[in-house]
């Protein structure tokens, strides 16, 4: 639809989907991204979704809201969502503007996000414990 | 000295009178300056005496005072002559830089400049008292220049003071919120001193940058050194915790004193999302547990 380089890429990596947002999206683009991503979760039967926002230096309230919605919808379709790479400035803005991020899971970067998904997905859904319990 | 000077003045005044009267206005100022230069020693001493009488500048020794008053006097007369305040500005800033650490107050600096203005004006009165018309014109030339000088010195002094205050604030700000890596992926942030919103904002910013650079997973914020926590500060803490969570790090708060804990509960801040532990030691142990380190003392060996 939009000419020029892609604004978003959604890649499949094993049981996970990795969605990278390359540039600031307007509301329509954000909406489209949400639909695409949710559709692909079903197509690929993904168990986890990573949304990488490292390239964003601004995130408006609609963007934050959409990310939260994606998380909620993905959960209903059986996938865990984690947002990675939130920049310090963005994190501070989200908090100081009082945008609620609700149940959204976050991790430092892609690597951490993958690790988090591994701990949540492969060993059953319920036990979300990251830390290893010392063996007796 | 004065005895030697006085007849000179009388002579000169009588001799100059018709000459000045005849020349135009811009001749007045040079005449004035020449007069002030000529009686430099006497006027300066009179001024120093007045300063002492007024009890100003007691932070300085008599020698220092003599040196400073001489150079202030020379600068003053020079500005009267040239009308350029830049040199005086530079000198006043330099002087302020030297005397501010000695505890010299604004009213003292303004006071001595006004005294000098007064001393010089009196000497002009004395010199031109015989001709009121001329005296008026001399004062017309002198007063605006003198006012400008007093203004410049006061402003330079206050500017310098504010610069020093700003500098100190900056360094306090930098010093008081270090973000320290203790172990891999574990940061501690010992907070010292009063938190205002500006500092809280900076602290959050530093912490978030620290989380990014050190790839931290757990942060321990120790607030033992914070004397008082009110609602604003508490909300800042909650924000900091939320923002860190968005960066993928969990935060443990330690060092809440009994008093602060009670205050927070009384004012009803929502601290349900905060992970708090009594002291820094406990906080570090908990952080290490979260990171999967085994705690040192109870060891890995199976207990019976």
What tens digit of pLDDT does each residue of B155-198 get? 888 888 888 889 888 877 666 678 889 888 999 998 887 777 77
Cβ separation A92–B215 shorter than 8 A:
no
Residue numbers of the domain that contains A113: 8-121
Same domain, B123 and B184: no
The minimum CA-CA distance between A3 and chain B, rounded to whole Å, is 33
Interatomic CA distance for residues B268 and B262, integer angstroms: 10
Cβ separation B209–A88 shorter than 8 A:
yes
Cβ separation A134–B294 shorter than 8 A:
yes
How many folded domains does chain B comprise?
2
Same domain, B147 and B248: no
Q: Residue A80 — pLDDT band, cuts 50, 70, 90? A: very high
Last residue of a domain, one of B167, B197, B228: B167
- Residue B254: give its domain's CATH number: 3.30.750.24
- Using CB atoms within 10 Å of the CB of residue B78, give its burial: 0 to 12 exposed, 13 to 18 middle, 19+ buried: middle
Q: Which residue has the tokens 């006085």?
A: B6
How many residue contacts between A and B have a Cβ separation below 8 Å?
62
Last residue of a domain, one of B106, B135, B167: B167
pLDDT number for residue A94: 87
A56 belongs to a structural domain: yes
**CB-CB neighbors (< 8 A) of A95 in chain B:** 239-240, 242-243, 246
Cβ separation A91–B246 shorter than 8 A:
yes
Interface test with A, best of B187, B246, B287 (most A CBs within 10 A): B246
> What's chain B's length in residues?
304
Same domain, B232 and B266: yes
Same domain, B51 and B150: yes
- Residue A45: give its domain's CATH number: 3.30.750.24
Q: Summarize the confidence of residues A110-121 as an average pLDDT.
A: 90
pLDDT number for residue B3: 43
- Using CB atoms within 10 Å of the CB of residue B105, give its burial: 0 to 12 exposed, 13 to 18 middle, 19+ buried: middle
Interatomic CA distance for residues B1 and B172, integer angstroms: 54
**A26 pLDDT more than 80:** yes
pLDDT number for residue A33: 92
Last residue of a domain, one of B115, B146, B167: B167
Same domain, B237 and B88: no
Instruction: Starting at the earlier edge strand, list the strands of the sheet with B180-183.
Output: B180-183, B186-192, B218-225, B250-254, B275-277
How many folded domains does chain A comprise?
1
pLDDT number for residue A16: 93
B205, two tokens? 């910013």
Query: What is the interface pTM, i.e. ipTM, of the complex?
Result: 0.72
Interface test with B, best of A88, A96, A113 (most B CBs within 10 A): A88
pLDDT number for residue A3: 59
Same domain, B19 and B139: yes
pLDDT number for residue A85: 92
B299 belongs to a structural domain: no
Would you call B218 helix, strand, or coil by DSSP? strand
More confident residue, A123 or A86: A86
Cβ separation A95–B246 shorter than 8 A:
yes
Those residues of chain B that have pLDDT short of 70 are 1-26, 173-176, 294-304
Interface test with A, best of B187, B243, B296 (most A CBs within 10 A): B243
B296 belongs to a structural domain: no
pLDDT number for residue B26: 66
CB A110 within 8 A of CB A84: yes
CB A29 within 8 A of CB A4: no
- Closest listed residue to residue B123, CA positions, set B59, B38, B192: B38
User: What integer best gives the mean pLDDT of chain A?
Assistant: 83
Same domain, B140 and B233: no
Cβ separation A91–B244 shorter than 8 A:
yes
Tell me the CA distances in angstroms from B235 to B147, B210, B239, B241, B268, one per residue in order: 50, 21, 6, 10, 11
Cβ separation B204–A107 shorter than 8 A:
no
Cβ separation B246–A101 shorter than 8 A:
yes
Cβ separation A108–B244 shorter than 8 A:
no
Cβ separation B215–A136 shorter than 8 A:
no
- Closest listed residue to residue B123, CA positions, set B46, B211, B208: B46
pLDDT number for residue A125: 44
Interatomic CA distance for residues B123 and B35, integer angstroms: 9
CA atoms within 13 A on the CB side of A38: 18
A2 belongs to a structural domain: no
**CB-CB neighbors (< 8 A) of B247 in chain A:** 86, 88, 91, 106, 108
- Residue B96: give its domain's CATH number: 1.10.490
Same domain, B260 and B202: yes
CB A21 within 8 A of CB A8: yes
B258 belongs to a structural domain: yes
**CB-CB neighbors (< 8 A) of B249 in chain A:** 108
pLDDT number for residue B42: 86
pLDDT number for residue A11: 92
Same domain, B213 and B252: yes
Cβ separation A106–B290 shorter than 8 A:
no
B144 belongs to a structural domain: yes
What spatial distance separates the first Cα and last Cα of chain B, rounded to whole Å?
102
In B, minimum Cα distance to A136 occurs at B302
Same domain, B77 and B222: no
* CB-based contact, A136 to chain B, within 8 Å: yes
**CB-CB neighbors (< 8 A) of B291 in chain A:** 131
B23, two tokens? 């020349």
More confident residue, B14 or A18: A18
Residue numbers of the domain that contains B138: 2-167
């Amino acid at each position: 639809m939009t000419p020029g380089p892609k604004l978003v890429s959604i890649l499949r990596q094993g049981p996970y989907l990795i969605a990278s947002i390359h540039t600031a999206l307007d509301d329509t683009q954000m909406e489209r991204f949400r639909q695409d991503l949710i559709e692909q979760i079903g197509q690929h039967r993904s168990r986890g979704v990573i949304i990488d926002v490292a390239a964003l230096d601004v995130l408006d309230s609609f963007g934050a809201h959409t990310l939260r919605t994606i998380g909620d919808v993905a959960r209903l379709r059986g996938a865990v969502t984690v947002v990675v790479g939130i920049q310090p400035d963005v994190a501070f803005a989200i908090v100081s503007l009082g945008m609620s991020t609700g149940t959204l899971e976050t991790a430092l970067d892609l690597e951490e996000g993958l690790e988090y998904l591994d701990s949540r997905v492969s060993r059953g859904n319920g036990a979300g414990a990251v830390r290893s319990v010392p063996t007796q | 000295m004065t005895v030697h000077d006085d007849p000179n003045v009388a002579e000169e005044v009588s001799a100059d009178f018709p000459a000045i009267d005849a020349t135009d206005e811009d001749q007045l100022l040079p005449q004035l300056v020449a007069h002030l230069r000529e009686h430099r020693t006497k006027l300066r001493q009179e001024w120093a005496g007045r300063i002492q009488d007024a009890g100003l500048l007691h932070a300085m020794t008599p020698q220092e005072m003599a040196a400073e008053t001489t150079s202030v006097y020379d600068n003053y007369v020079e500005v009267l002559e040239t009308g350029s305040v830049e040199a005086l500005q530079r000198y006043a800033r330099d002087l302020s830089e030297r005397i501010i650490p000695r505890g010299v107050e604004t009213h003292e600096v303004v006071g001595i400049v006004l005294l000098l203005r007064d001393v010089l004006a009196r000497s002009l009165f004395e010199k031109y008292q015989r001709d009121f018309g001329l005296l008026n014109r001399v004062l017309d030339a002198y007063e605006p220049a003198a006012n400008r000088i007093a203004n410049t010195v006061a402003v330079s002094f206050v500017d310098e003071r504010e610069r020093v205050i700003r500098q100190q604030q900056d360094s306090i700000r930098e010093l008081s919120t270090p973000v320290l890596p203790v172990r891999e992926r574990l940061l501690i942030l010992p907070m010292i001193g009063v938190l205002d919103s500006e500092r809280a904002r900076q602290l959050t910013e530093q912490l978030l940058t620290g989380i990014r650079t050190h790839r931290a997973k757990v942060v321990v914020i120790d607030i033992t050194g914070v004397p008082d926590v009110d609602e604003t500060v508490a909300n800042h803490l909650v924000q900091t915790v939320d923002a860190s969570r968005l960066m993928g790090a969990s935060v443990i708060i330690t060092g809440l004193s009994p008093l602060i804990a009670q205050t927070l509960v009384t004012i009803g801040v929502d601290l349900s999302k905060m992970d708090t532990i009594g002291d820094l030691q406990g906080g570090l142990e908990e952080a290490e547990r979260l990171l999967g380190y085994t705690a040192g003392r109870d060891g890995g060996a199976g207990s019976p």
